[in-house]
Amino acid sequence: MTWLHFLSVSITVWLTLLFVFTIVPAVLGVSIGIRRLYLTTLLKIFEWATLRMEMEAKEKNQQLYKPYSSGIIVKEPPLSLQQGIQELRGSASCLHSEPEFEMADIFYFCRRGVESIVDDEVTKRFSAQELETWNLLTRSHYNFRHISLRLTVLWGLGVLIRYGILLPLRVTLAATGISLILVLTTLVGFLPSREFFLTEKVHVMCYRICVRSLTAMITYHNRENKPKNGGICVANHTTPIDVIILANDGCYSLIGQAHRGLLGMVQRAMVKSSPHIWFDRSEVKDRHLVAKRLSDHVADKTKQPILIFPEGTCINNTSVMMFKKGSFEIGCTVYPVAIKYDPLFGDAFWNSSKFGMVNYLLRMMSSWAIVCSVWYLPPMNREEGEDAVQFANRVKAAIAAQGGLVDLIWDGGLKRAKVKDAFKEEQQKLYSKISRSLDSCPDNCHLDFLIPL
């Protein structure tokens, strides 16, 4: 009975502390400074571990491996196809006087191919960002923990803290947040009139509890530019938790793929109290229905802004890839948002081809913390004479510039698919125009021997 009494008291104390120091501040939207103190302490420990590693490596004459870059490679812009061919042929006059194919042209494509292999700016965006120093996580150790006994002991202590204390605490908070979403949104849905004020309070409160379950420290900038009703909020996409990062500071309607299981239950509960849009990507008819519902949603100025991630997939937070044009064809005000994560305390990127959702969430909850900055950019509208693609690229460039990300033209769908044939044909036609004048080239002039890169 003594052990049972001790266990009962321990559980009661644990739940009381959890309720007083975490759930109550989350409901009230206040912070008592525990997370900031925790992160400051972690930063000092990382700095000490880095100095210790450098000292141990110097004493043992070991090469302390550090990644040569952060994944963002700055280089001179490559020559265009015409400039490259022109440079190989020697002068601009040759390009017009001899518009036929020359064997030397092959070297341009060979060079570009080798450059693409050595510095692949696409596939590197679908893997975790490398760190300059060790953050005491096995997933980013680079054999650092084996340098000295002290570092090995420190790493072991970190494992005990993360899995023995933080993980149970975070799982409890996450279960609390999800349970409240299921129950409260369902209850709000039964009310005769869905009060926007009540719906917003319920959603924000639940999302704040979920944010606490990740020990997330979020800094919001330029709150005067927060999305307003009747608009579309677009942001770069790194992880599924982007949703709760933004919803922690305001209420949004969501649009996304319909799921099954627990996530499907949450989606069905949420849609009872708020006008979210769930669809099936495999159904063509759903795409037309989504476009119509999206237009109807933004036309109603009483409805909350709708949150969209135009990249359509998760990128590792070093770059922004092509925005799908669908959300930019509506003709309403777009509110860009840039999200930048600090990978030092935990890598938020979800590599969906490597980790399932449960495995990913386990990795997040067993990390030290999630630290990020959110910038609300000034609202943007489509300019006269600007098509949807140009508008999407302009918004993407603004987000990349604010977040310190690389602006790439490539489609994030390349994570799972090959380059489209249309892009290859476009490169073939471009080379055909350069090497052969349009007037003298017959309609059936194809350069099928060319393998574009």
Place of tokens 């159904």: 283
Q: Are 319 and 400 in contact (CB under 8 A)?
A: yes
Give the pTM: 0.77
> What pLDDT, on a 0 to 100 scale, did the predictor assign at position 119?
59
> What pLDDT, on a 0 to 100 scale, did the predictor assign at position 219?
92
Report the share of the chain in percent with pLDDT over 90: 15
Q: What is the pLDDT of residues 165-221, one digit of tens each?
A: 899 889 988 888 888 888 888 888 777 665 566 778 888 888 888 888 888 899 999
- With bands split at pLDDT 50, 70 and 90, how would you rate the model's confidence at 54? confident
162: nearest Cα among 15, 362, 344: 362
> What pLDDT, on a 0 to 100 scale, did the predictor assign at position 434?
65
> What pLDDT, on a 0 to 100 scale, did the predictor assign at position 224?
92
Give whole-number Cα distances, 166 to 160, 202, 222, 359, 367, in Å: 9, 26, 32, 16, 9
Q: What is the pLDDT of residues 99-141, one digit of tens each?
A: 566 666 676 777 766 666 555 566 666 666 666 666 777 655 5
Return mean pLDDT, the chain.
Answer: 77
- With bands split at pLDDT 50, 70 and 90, how would you rate the model's confidence at 442? very low
Distance CA 434, CA 411 (A): 26
Q: What is the pLDDT of residues 407-429, one digit of tens each?
A: 888 776 666 666 666 666 777 77
Give the mean pLDDT of 344-372: 86
